[in-house]
Structure 1
């Protein structure tokens, strides 16, 4: 039964966010009206995830992200963006937030994002090995199945623990980046579905995903994942069997205005959380590199 701490100074937004979270009966939401109150509640309630607005009095969302990271790096934080807060959102991702959701897309994106981040944050535990593990090299091939993607991401997070590459917070952010890359490979690569459809009609988008997972030529396409992990660096290469795209058309991750768009959100998170993100010329393979800090 996860507990979500929601911080937002706007009564209407707070109530709307609470109603969205309550669509999942397993979630318990608690509330704060600013960053300072949220930090006090964080220390007493020990929530499983913090969901925060960015523009708040006393302590804003960026200050809350930084304070929570200092107190408990294993608790994930998701920030909610709105018009005028994009630069704060970029700063929040830089200092430790695990993901973000535009408030304008909360009805469709919020609960899904919270559930995914919770899953990634609760799959970290792994028994320590009795020997020192120097390096891991593996190749995986998976079908177009979101559950397989979630399982593989959890497995890769466990590998990070085994080689001692990063702390708990960065394990979550690594998981978010890899999951976004795998989802892009499935949806935009193998199934050839444009993210613009998701913004226009989310129900039609979901229906087309299910349809193409069952029909040719899409259903037989695979995702190949090659990983190389050491105590100094993680390199993950993800390839799909779709038609590819022109990587030069990707949105600029340094432009805060892109935080208000659903299209390109995955690539923006990948580039925020990884040290390098490199696409091949045809756009059907991406290599993500994370170095030890």
Structure 2
């Protein structure tokens, strides 16, 4: 879907019935974020689309956008997570956006981008929303609702053109009766004092710009940029017994003990070995009762 001209999109977005969920203002966001010297070079807000990742990736493939392009949707009808899982939510109940980056670091280190985005988003939410946000390896954002960890956001990175499109989906004002699954959450349900999406989006994009600059200045080195240690400090997966569901229908059970220099999860198995997990679904196991908590992802 091609973004509407700024005037039309903002005029259309002004017609809403839920006063608790006002629309985002494209012009205001552009004035705040798109400026000389900033990472962000363009910012479009559309009323609805299938997937901001798909749209921005298509534009990148055609050479229609440069690094720092941001595409925000008030509603997604076909938002995607890892393994093509669907992500949907009521209009204006969350932040659904994608950014286009062309890292000037060795491509072997590009795999850190989803983890970097998680660190930047969690840090921004802690400051701007007043909600403690944890990271579930490799791409989920967790908050605590009624004493339980709930998934409130997800990150999806895809190669596109000469760079990477990174999509972020974040439940902001979603109410209990709107949850797609019982294990989902939102900032509102986690007790956020405010759910104004405008300052939240600005905070996330500024935090992402800051972390991206540190990472690039360190030539993508996760240790030198402190990305590796910061991710580990905020990762709810570490120290937990987990079940890793691996490609090819294989499974691995053990304790998640570290994040290595390639961004892989290191799982210590019963036999004393340590196995890196580069891709797969991770299930956090409960400390008691033998059941499972959280979603795979």
- Which TM-score applies when normalising by structure 2? 0.33
Higher strand share: 2
Higher helix share: 1
- Which TM-score applies when normalising by structure 1? 0.33
